[in-house]
Amino acid sequence: MNLRSPAFGILFSVSLIAAAGNMALQSVLPNIGRAFELRDTLVSAAFAISALMWTLASPYWARLSDTLGRKKVMMIGLSGFVLSMTGFGLATTSGLKGWLGFGVAFVLMALARTIYGVFGSAAPIAAQAYVADRTTAEQRTQAMSMLASAQGLGTVVGPTLAPLFVLPLIGLAGPMYAFAAMGAVALVVVWRRLPSGEVARIPSPSGRRDQTGKGLWKDPRVRDYLLYGLLVTGAQAVNISVLGFHIIDELAATGTAAHDTHPFIALAMFAGAAATLLAQWGLIPLLKLQPRDLMRWGAGLALAGNVLSIASPGYYGVVMGYAVVSMGVGFARPGFTAGSSLSVGASEQGTVAGLMMSLAGLSFLAPPVIGVALYEFAEPAPFIANALLLAAATALCFMSPRLRAGPADLPDRDETPSPETPPASQPGPEGNR
C-alpha cells in the first residue's frame, strides 16, 4: 500500500477522528458532571464502563474482521462511534435543558459510553488489519507507524477543537455533535471510496487456532515489562481522570465559574499532548535512548510530575505537573512496548502486542474511579498514591534482572526508536490501537 494513496488517507482520517472525538469528550466531561451535580466518581465510572467493554469486545472484532472483511467491520465501528457520540450529546442536552432529570440523563450517557466500548475498537482494529493485508514486511513498520501517528495527533486536535464547538444553543454537548458529524462523513467516505478487495486469509492446515504465545503474560521474558506498564499507565489514567476536576476546583478559588473553565482544561490537555509529542518526536531520537533508559527516565519524570502537582498548587502548577507526567509516559511507553517486543521471537510478536494493548483497557477500569474517589477525600491523595505507584515502577527498573539488563543486544537489531517513530496517543481504552 502506498502511504500517499487515497485509501491510506481514508484510514488515517478514521483513526484521527476517533481519537480526537474521544479526547474532546474527555475534556468536557468534568464540566458536564459538575453541571449535573454528580459525584466525581460517578462521572469517572462512565469511562470505566467503556474500558471494560472495549477490553472484552476487541478480540471479537479482530476475529470478525478475518471472516466478514476489514471494510465492513470498519463501517460497523464507525457506525457505533457516531451512535455513541450522538447519544451522549443528546443525553447531555436533555439534562442541561431540563428535559430529563440529571440521574436519567447520566444513565443514558453511561449507555452511550457502553455502546462506544462495544463498537469503538472495531474501526481501528480493522484499519490496522487492512494495512497489514496490503503491505510487505519491509513496508509494514512505516505504514503502522504512520497509522498510529493519527491517534497521537488526535490527542492534540480533540481538546484544541472542543472549545470551538461549545456554542450558546447546545453548550457542552456541542463537541459530541461535531465529532459525530465528522464520524458520519468518514463512514460515507469509507463506504463509497475505500476499496474492499478483501485479501484471502488461509486457515491453518490443522484447522485449529494457532496456540503460539498462549500464556505469554506470565512468561519471565515479558512479565516485568507488563507489570511496569500497568503501574505507569494506571498512574497516568488517574492523572487524566482527575485533571478536569482539579482545574475546576483550583480556578474556583480565583472566582472563575465552572462553566468558564473548559478552555483552561483544554489548554492543560493540549500541554500534556504536546509534551508527549516533544518526548517522542524530539527527545527520544535526539538522545538515542534504549528501552531500559526510556523506562527509567519515564517513570522518574512521571513521579516528578505528580510531586509537582502536590507541591505547586494553582492552575499553572496543575498544568506543569500534568505536562511533566505526560512527558514521562511519552518516554516510558515506547520503552516497555519495545522492550517486551525485543524480548520475544518473531512468532510471538502478535501475542505480545495484544498484551501491551490490553494494558490500555485495564488501566482505565479501576484506577480512574479510585483516583477520583481519593481526590474527593483529599486533593493531594491521588497524586500521593500515584507517586507510590511510580516509585515502585522506578524501583522495578533497577531491581528486576530482566529490566535492569534490558533486552538482549542481538545482531542486526537496533533498539533505538527511529526519528520517524510516532508518539503514542494519550492512554485509554480508545487509544493505542
Residue 220: count of CB within 10 angstroms of its CB = 10
Residue 380: count of CB within 10 angstroms of its CB = 16
Assign 128 a pLDDT band (cuts: 50, 70, 90): confident
CA distance 238 to 44: 10
pLDDT at position 414 is 46
Cell numbers linked to 146: 504512520
CA distance 423 to 334: 8
Mean per-residue pLDDT for 148-152?
64
Whether 343 contacts 220, CB under 8 Å:
no
**Longest CA span, the chain:** 69
Quote the mean pLDDT of the chain.
80
Cell numbers linked to 188: 460515507
pLDDT at 204 over 80: no
In Å, how far are 81, 160, 198, 293 from 191, measured between CA atoms?
15, 29, 14, 45
Of 136-140, 237-241, 370-374, 429-433, the poorest mean pLDDT is in 429-433
The number of CA neighbours under 13 Å toward the Cβ of 189 is 16
Nearest alpha carbon to residue 3 among 140, 197, 152, 143: 143
CA distance 394 to 55: 27
Mean per-residue pLDDT for 365-386?
91
Mean per-residue pLDDT for 168-175?
88
Mean per-residue pLDDT for 123-148?
67
Cell numbers linked to 345: 521471537
CA distance 409 to 236: 30
pTM over the 0.75 mark: no
In Å, how far are 5, 23, 266, 275 from 156, measured between CA atoms?
24, 8, 9, 10
Mean per-residue pLDDT for 28-54?
81
pLDDT at position 355 is 67
Terminal Cα-to-Cα distance of the chain (whole angstroms): 20
CA distance 320 to 299: 16
Of 81-90, 187-196, 287-296, 333-342, the poorest mean pLDDT is in 333-342
Residue 188: count of CB within 10 angstroms of its CB = 12
pLDDT at position 152 is 62
Stretch (H or E) spanning 273: helix 262-277
pLDDT at position 417 is 45
Find cell 497524586 and name the residue: 383
Mean per-residue pLDDT for 71-86?
94
Backbone angles phi, psi at 167, to 5 degrees: -100, 160
Within 8 A by CB and 6+ apart from 310, the residues are 380, 383, 384, 387
The number of CA neighbours under 13 Å toward the Cβ of 307 is 11
pLDDT at 420 over 70: no
pLDDT at position 304 is 96
Whether 96 contacts 174, CB under 8 Å:
no
Within 8 A by CB and 6+ apart from 279, the residues are 327, 330, 331, 423
pLDDT at 300 over 70: yes
Whether 365 contacts 51, CB under 8 Å:
yes
Mean per-residue pLDDT for 355-381?
82
CA distance 305 to 387: 9
pLDDT at position 120 is 81
